[in-house]
Amino acid sequence: MMKRIIAIIILICFSTAIFAQSSEVVIDETILEPKDPILATVIALGPGLLAHGFGQFYAENFRMGLLLFSLELVSLLTIGVGYLEYSNPSGFTIVGGNEGEVKHAGAIVMAIGVTGFIATWLADIALAGRSAEQYNTEHNLKFKLQQESNNLIPGLMYTYNF
């Protein structure tokens, strides 16, 4: 009985989705704003240390951002496994060798993880500005820093054209 009720509910849900008609078509009009390459690099430098790929996400290069974030997670997992192997070598002697060799192998695995972590962070920093410039080029946008005329300290302001 319960299966029939669930089947009827699913059938009703799918039939309403199939036969639903929209009376008007609305195209989402998005106002595109140019991306600042300097800000993309700063975002990759600061918050990007915790989650690699933030600079890419700002520049709307989601594929590269997800790749860098995934590689960061893999490197953190590698660091964790290396730390476990280094701190508790007796639990890993099944792999082979004595505790000293296992401890040395754990240090090597941890070093590989740290190297991957630093490499993905530096890649995010190096590529974030280029991704922002590429976004601006693809959407025919020009990024300009505007100098405010009513600023109290205009010497600290600057203009820059990309």
Token output for 46: 């600061």
* Whole-number pLDDT of residue 14: 55
Give the tens place of pLDDT for each residue, 85-135.
999 888 776 666 788 888 898 999 999 999 999 999 999 999 999 999 999
54, 47 contact by CB (below 8 A):
yes
Per 3-state DSSP, the chain is made up of helix, strand and coil in percentages (nearest 5) of 70, 0, 30
CB count within 10 Å of CB 37 equals: 22
Q: pLDDT tier at 155 (50, 70, 90 boundaries)?
A: very low
Examine the pLDDT at 148 and tell me if it is beyond 80.
Answer: no
Residue with tokens 């849900």: 13
- Give dist(CA 57, CA 71) in Å, integer: 15
* Whole-number pLDDT of residue 119: 96
* Whole-number pLDDT of residue 26: 44
